Amino acid sequence: MCLDLDNKNVGYRLGRLFAILEKIQAEANPGINATIRDRFYGAASSTPVTVFGNLMRLSNHHLSKLEKEKPGVFVIRKQLIGEIMCPISDFPSHLSLADQGRFAIGYYHQSQDLWTKKS
């Protein structure tokens, strides 16, 4: 497994969170043309405070749709957001270059984990 559940680095955590928010959007709106990755990845990885508030608001809309249509998925995604957010006290205004790299690593680790079939 490449996903590091114990990594508390804010860049890594925000990358994981971004992957989950993208997955929630895709599950709530199958076949969507432009995802949050297309529109917000760059800003989310460099200046998180400018986009994550809006992304969290959007995710609430997507989650409410999942709650009605796929309640089991809703519970799993909501719990995962809580687990990822637990050590984050606020969204930083900027991420250093090293933390931008950690954002990318967290994003791809979490994305891979979401696609890996669980036994």
- Note the pLDDT tens digit of each residue in 8-59: 999 999 999 999 999 999 999 998 889 999 999 999 999 999 999 999 999 9
Confidence grade of residue 115 (pLDDT, cut at 50, 70, 90): confident
pLDDT in the model for residue 98: 98
pLDDT in the model for residue 102: 97
Between CA 29 and CA 27 the distance in angstroms is 6
Q: Across the chain, what does the average pLDDT equal? A: 94
Between CA 31 and CA 29 the distance in angstroms is 6
pLDDT in the model for residue 118: 66
Instruction: Give the whole-number percent of the chain exceeding pLDDT 70.
Output: 97
Between CA 40 and CA 46 the distance in angstroms is 10
